[in-house]
Amino acid sequence: MPGRGRAHLALAASLLVVGCTGERAGGVLNIEITADKSVEALSVINENAQKCWFRSGDRAFRGLAVIPELDTRIGNPRLLVVERGKSTGLPKLVIEASGDPVKITTFGPLASEPVSARINDDVIAWSGGRSAC
């Protein structure tokens, strides 16, 4: 789908998540997106998360790192946000893609933190084709 259509889809998904409150929605995210494959959708999210959250030195993500698990031979592709240097520890956030149509889900301890609204906004935007931070 062209970038404009994806942007409209992201906006619609964002409005669905926010509902009538007018506030940014934090918490667990469950959205359906227009994408050919789950792995492709997560690859885009991974690239942008690396750029915007981690390499930028963003304070909200200091001390964290992302581990992409895009090998789909077993289970759904996912991105794990973990404490930096503790790649085998429990993830602080999981971003998972599954199904056809592709559904993106986020969950984990960070989903209950104030930063989750920003995470959700970014995931929705990047899923819709935005690449800016």
> Average pLDDT of 80-87?
91
Cβ-based neighbours of 49, under 8 Å, separated by 6 or more? 66, 79, 81, 95, 122, 126
Give percent of the chain above pLDDT 90: 63
Higher-scoring residue by pLDDT: 120, 11: 120
3 state SS of 50: helix
Higher-scoring residue by pLDDT: 12, 71: 71
Higher-scoring residue by pLDDT: 87, 39: 39
57 has a pLDDT exceeding 50: yes
d(CA 18, CA 3): 22
Q: In the β-sheet with 93-98, what is the strand arrangement from edge to edge? A: 29-33, 102-107, 93-98, 78-83, 64-69
d(CA 8, CA 88): 38
Strands (E), 4-120: 29-33, 64-69, 78-83, 93-98, 102-107
d(CA 75, CA 117): 27
